[in-house]
């Protein structure tokens, strides 16, 4: 799981609220984290592997949106590996972990492991948040026809640059002037918590707005493609809207417990004594949400693949062949050269205006296909309603 409390625990003079959650049934908590992360890791990889029965397609190019979805899954996989590694060491070497709490200890490896593993987890999940924000931005720009593969370089620079900068800045402020003196005051802790939760809150607030504007723009594109709004196009717009809804639903489910837990722990930090009886219910709620975080945070990877691609099945095709990987667009071929044979023989005196209209429709199909890629039913409807398919 990902929480700024993991870095705070590396301080020997940690606050009482962090000590409360980190010392609560550590064996059970680490076992829950390992189990959840392993299940999510295996199912995520299963989702991404090519499946039998999927006909290979030669793609003209991969969209930036499909690349972003893959990078989100990679960040979740690597973050899950960090959770498994940290929790396994926690369970397997209790004596090694106990040295983290030693003030002015001579063995620096326990603290190095504590800080390094916590930073790895925070960095990868934070990068996943930034990639999810880039996906919302890219979806909107694609519909506005202002994005493409060239922008993926900018997304890389923004995502990894901001993730590394915020992670290093938060850690530096938390451990200043040294690891043994961190967390002596909230002036060290609050900036660290802000840098940790800033990308998460950004996705929660901004992504729904961008998704909503993208859906409205998609509806306008579908209406303007042929001048009518058919049932197929209405269903396609609804499915794109549902895809965005599923993405945000998974995100809220997996990370709302972190916000609740941090709010409760921050409230406890404000109290002179967190062990007072009036605070019993708050302590219990903090511990419950702490365990829930250990279950839901690592499961994000698998749940996101369900939101992105749906369930892809169990029949894995391990035979190597040159084929489209599952996360590539399944409908971009509608804009490729000779993507579909025209059922109508065009005459040589086709008007230029009709050619221009067909080109515009192809561009619209490309934009819609980038948003609906991975959804076979949507791709089929897009193909049937395409003027190229109809011999328009």
pLDDT at 204 over 80: yes
| Residue 353, in any domain of the structure | no
| Residue 381, in any domain of the structure | no
Report pLDDT digits (tens) over 339-368: 333 343 434 433 444 444 444 555 555 566
* Domain encompassing residue 171: 4-50+63-309
Residue 352: count of CB within 10 angstroms of its CB: 7
| Residue closest to 73 by CA, chosen among 380, 307, 276, 302 | 302
| Residue 118, in any domain of the structure | yes
pLDDT at 213 over 50: yes
| Residue 222, in any domain of the structure | yes
CB 363 within 8 A of CB 145: yes
| Residue 166, in any domain of the structure | yes
| Residue 163, in any domain of the structure | yes
Query: Residue 359 is encoded by which pair of tokens?
Result: 């080109």
Domain count, the chain: 1
Q: What is the mean pLDDT of residues 129-144?
A: 91
Element holding 341 (H helix, E strand)? none
Report pLDDT digits (tens) over 332-347: 433 334 433 334 343 4
| Residue 171, in any domain of the structure | yes
**CA 344 – CA 271 distance, rounded (Å):** 77
Question: Strand, helix or coil at 51?
Answer: strand
**CA 151 – CA 240 distance, rounded (Å):** 22
Residue 366: predicted pLDDT: 57
CA distance to 3, 41, 303, per residue, from 253 (Å): 16, 18, 10
**CA 357 – CA 392 distance, rounded (Å):** 10
| Residue 17, in any domain of the structure | yes
pTM for the structure as a whole: 0.81
Residue 60: predicted pLDDT: 41
Question: Strand, helix or coil at 316?
Answer: strand
CB 32 within 8 A of CB 295: yes
- CATH number of 183's domain: 1.20.1070.10
């Amino acid at each position: 799981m990902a929480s700024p409390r993991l870095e705070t625990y590396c301080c020997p003079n940690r606050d009482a609220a962090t000590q409360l959650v980190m010392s609560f049934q550590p064996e059970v908590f680490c076992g829950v984290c390992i189990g959840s992360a392993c299940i999510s890791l295996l199912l995520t990889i299963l989702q991404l592997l090519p499946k039998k029965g999927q006909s290979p397609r030669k793609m003209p190019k991969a969209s930036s949106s499909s690349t972003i979805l893959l990078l989100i899954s990679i960040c979740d996989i690597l973050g899950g590996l960090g959770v498994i590694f940290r929790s396994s060491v926690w369970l397997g070497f209790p004596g090694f972990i106990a040295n983290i709490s030693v003030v002015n200890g001579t063995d620096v490896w326990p603290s190095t492991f504590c800080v390094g593993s916590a930073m790895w987890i925070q960095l990868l999940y934070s990068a996943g948040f930034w990639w999810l924000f880039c996906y919302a931005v890219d979806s909107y720009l694609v519909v506005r026809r202002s994005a493409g593969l060239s922008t993926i370089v900018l997304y890389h620079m923004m995502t990894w640059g901001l993730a590394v900068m915020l992670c290093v800045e938060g850690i530096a402020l938390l451990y200043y002037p040294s690891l043994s003196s961190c967390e002596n005051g909230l002036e060290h802790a609050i900036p660290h918590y802000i840098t940790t939760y800033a990308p998460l809150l950004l996705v929660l607030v901004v992504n729904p707005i961008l998704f909503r504007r993208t859906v409205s723009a998609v509806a306008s594109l579908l209406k303007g493609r042929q001048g009518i709004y058919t049932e197929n196009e209405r269903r396609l717009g609804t499915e794109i809207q549902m895809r965005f809804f599923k993405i945000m639903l998974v995100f809220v489910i997996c990370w709302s417990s972190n916000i609740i837990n941090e709010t409760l722990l921050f409230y406890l930090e404000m109290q002179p004594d967190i062990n007072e009886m009036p605070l019993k219910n708050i302590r219990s709620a903090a511990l419950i949400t702490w365990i829930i975080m250990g279950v839901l945070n690592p499961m994000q990877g698998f749940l996101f693949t369900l939101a992105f691609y749906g369930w892809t099945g169990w029949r894995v095709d391990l035979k190597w062949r040159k084929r489209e990987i599952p996360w590539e667009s399944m409908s971009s071929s509608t804009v490729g050269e000779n993507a579909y044979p025209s059922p109508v023989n065009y005459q040589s005196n086709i008007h230029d205006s009709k050619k221009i209209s067909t080109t515009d429709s192809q561009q619209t199909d490309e934009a819609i296909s980038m948003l609906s890629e991975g959804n076979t039913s949507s791709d089929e409807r897009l193909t049937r309603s395409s003027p190229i398919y109809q011999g328009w």
